[in-house]
Chain A
Amino acid sequence: MVDMPAQNPQRIVLPPHRERARRPRIVRFREWARRNLFNSRAGTALTIITAAILALIVYGVVYFVFVDANWRVITENRWLLFAGGYPMDQEWRLWFSVMFVFLLIGLTYGTWASLGRRDHLFIVLASGFAILLLAHGGAAIWSTIWYLIAVGLLYAGYAIMIRMPREAGPGRTLQQRSVAGLLIAALPIILIVLLAFGGARPRELEGFVLNLVLAPVGIAGGLVIAIPLALGRASRMRAISWTCTTYIEVVRGAPLLGWLFVALFILDDVIGGELIVRAMVVLAVFTAAYMAEYIRGALQALPGGQSEAAHAVGLNQFQSMQLIVMPQALRISIPPMVGQAISIWKDTTLVTVILPLRELKGNADSAIAQFEFTPDRIEAYVFVAVVFWVVAFIMSRISQRVEGSLGIGER
């Protein structure tokens, strides 16, 4: 070994930086405000106008929420909105599912991300919102306790996982594999808990529970169909690529409502079965067409050298797909896939529009159909909007954090 030269003559090496004086916080705040709020006369005017509009909106919202609105339409109908026709004596199945999902969220966060101050704040706020709803009437104490146990499970799962070492190794692999396996198994487990062994009949899934069942089924089913579809469209065999292309384009050609129309009137003759199952099939088939396009986009974005390199090390076509190409393509396509998942989450409301299935929005319609609550239509729909917003927000937040820790989008 020859000694390396002490420094590369081309590189400029500086003496260490001297300590930079920290300025007082108030000085920095004043400077920040001047630069971001009052940077010119026009900027100041803009700030004042915007602040005035904001004040008006805040006033309107506060007045509506605390003075004008009658929230009894929600609190009185909370079972209807949440579970609808689900048999009340089987309530424990719902709570079990809630706890399971919260535990999963905790495990996922603990494994691939970490909870920041904002996340804690969000959990506190969302829990306050939930308890405000639950802490009314008969079984209020018990529902509150169940809910708090669920939050406790979230933190317990998180606390266990966050303490595991993050360095790559057999332990980390085992941790990741088991959490991922649990995530994949979650949907079947929950469906079994909800429906099997004396649980509800499928048509008794209603209200918010129905949204919470439909969306994951649509997303998971869609993904399962989408992967072969994307590969098929990219296939060199004419017949395969042609049928896959036709499938994708035809499905994307009509709105989801149109396909639900098919579920109602046409699929009856083809696959039969419960309407809710047909709706699930349609959701999966519909989602698949969009997801296949995202995967195809990701496949095209992959450098061609990847599959060539895979062949060069002796992998066959199938192995190169399974080990090299697909993992990368799925990774690239995660952000648009999450967008699609959120989109499907919102679209689960559409089953109410033409099908006789009552999810959250549909049961909100039922709630305000009661004579007592007809004046409270706005309250009911605002509540529905807020609930959907919260879940969509959680979905986008989790995916952002997990994407961040997987380094997706940083290429």
Chain B
Amino acid sequence: MTTETEATPTRDLESMEDIIIAENVDKWFGDFQALDNISMRIKEHEIVVVLGPSGSGKSTFIRCLNRLEEHDAGRIVIDGIEMNDDVRNLNAIRSEVGMVFQQFNLFPHLSVMNNITLGPRKVRRMPKLDADALAMQLLERVGIPEQAEKYPAQLSGGQQQRVAIARALAMQPKIMLFDEPTSALDPEMIKEVLDVMQELARSGMTMIVVTHEMGFAREVADRLIFFDEGSLVEEGTPQHFFENPQEDRTKLFLSQIL
């Protein structure tokens, strides 16, 4: 594992454009403030891991980035597109942002192949043959080309999550969001999903990952962000985070989780 990390080319993130800009984002659920004045910028090709206890708003934040939740105040700009009520902007953003869920959320009535090709064919109007070829290519990339004609219920959890990653990649997004992608998996399946994510990171994808997998955070992330009670408490490099955290809440959290 360590050798792999060292093999990762050091990237010159400083020269990259900001692909995600969030400024003063607020989100309320009724009387409950889920996000409190969140601001951050994420550069193209950057790998960001978001940490925090449950209920801290970390999932809510990344769900705001493709509008599964609407933010109430502040602005979010994805790749130069403002996130607002305009449906065209929303569609443009959703086709740039892929999402992987904790519970996989594969479409159980469709075969693996059709799960992956649904978006390209129906949203991108891609011909079926091209979509099928693309799907096979992606299935090979996530290591399960032989499962193409099966249905989600016939796959293991790890395989399902890899199909879900392939499904998100099929829309050829610039950004991938992972909402606790390994939390619903049995321990022996976590690695196969993390390997796929690691490969994806090396390929230069911009990724935001909510996870409790500290190994992944340490090895792959360019930056770690710690959320608590709806606020962004601390951010920094993995080194900074694991060796020299500043905030008490971060220390408490890390002491409990490590």
Chain A residues near B (Cβ < 8 Å): 9, 11-15, 17-18, 20-23, 31, 35, 39-42
Contacts and interface: CB of A to CB of B under 8 A. Distances in A.
Interface string B76-115: 0000000001010000000000000000000000000000
B53 A12 contact: yes
Nearest to B255: A9
17 contacts: A9-B256, A12-B54, A12-B257, A14-B55, A14-B228, A15-B249, A15-B252, A18-B229, A20-B31, A20-B33, A21-B33, A22-B31, A23-B31, A40-B85, A40-B87, A41-B87, A42-B87
A26 to B, nearest CB: 14
Q: Which 8 A-B residue pairings sit nearest by Cβ, starting from the closest?
A: A12-B53, A12-B256, A20-B33, A40-B87, A40-B85, A14-B53, A20-B32, A22-B31
A346 to B, nearest CB: 37
A14 B215 CA distance: 23
Contacts of A39: 85
Nearest to B228: A14
A258 B87 CA distance: 55
Given A12-B256, A20-B32, 11 more contacts: A12-B53, A12-B257, A14-B53, A14-B229, A15-B249, A31-B28, A39-B85, A40-B85, A40-B87, A41-B85, A42-B87
B248 to A, nearest CB: 9
A14 B53 CA distance: 8
Contacts of B199: none
Nearest to A18: B229
A247 B30 CA distance: 54
Interface string B233-258: 00000000000000001001100110
B64 to A, nearest CB: 14
B70 interface: yes
B253 A12 contact: yes
Most buried by A among B55, B229, B249: B229
Nearest to A39: B85
Interface in B51-65: 53-55
Interface string B201-245: 000000000000000000000000000110000000000000000
A349 B63 CA distance: 53
Interface string B30-56: 011100000000000000000001110
B72 interface: yes
Contacts, number: 32
A247 B252 CA distance: 69
Contacts of B249: 15
Contacts of B253: 12
Nearest to B33: A20
Contacts of A40: 85, 87
Contacts of A17: 229
A310 B72 CA distance: 55
Contacts of B31: 20, 22-23
Contacts of A42: 87
B31 to A, nearest CB: 6
B224 to A, nearest CB: 17
Contacts of A15: 249, 252
A23 B257 contact: no
Contacts of A35: 70
B53 to A, nearest CB: 5
Nearest to A23: B28
A339 B23 CA distance: 52
A9 B53 CA distance: 14
A308 B160 CA distance: 38
Contact of A31 (B55, B72, B252): B72
A17 B33 CA distance: 11
A78 to B, nearest CB: 47
Nearest to A16: B229
B169 to A, nearest CB: 28
A250 B42 CA distance: 70
B227 to A, nearest CB: 12
Contacts of A14: 53, 55, 228-229
A329 B252 CA distance: 50
A149 to B, nearest CB: 43
A21 B32 CA distance: 8
A31 B33 CA distance: 14
Interface string B12-36: 0000000000000000100111000
A330 B53 CA distance: 43
A190 B85 CA distance: 61
Contacts of A20: 31-33
Contacts of B85: 39-41
Contacts of A31: 28, 72
Interface in B123-151: none
A14 to B, nearest CB: 6
Nearest to B28: A23
Contacts of B55: 14
Contacts of B256: 9, 11-13
A40 B70 CA distance: 12
Contacts of A41: 85, 87
A46 to B, nearest CB: 13
A20 B249 CA distance: 18
Contacts of B28: 23, 31
Nearest to A8: B256
Nearest to A43: B85
A39 B70 CA distance: 10
A39 B229 CA distance: 28
Contacts of B70: 35
A11 B72 CA distance: 32
B71 to A, nearest CB: 11
A21 B72 CA distance: 15
B250 to A, nearest CB: 13
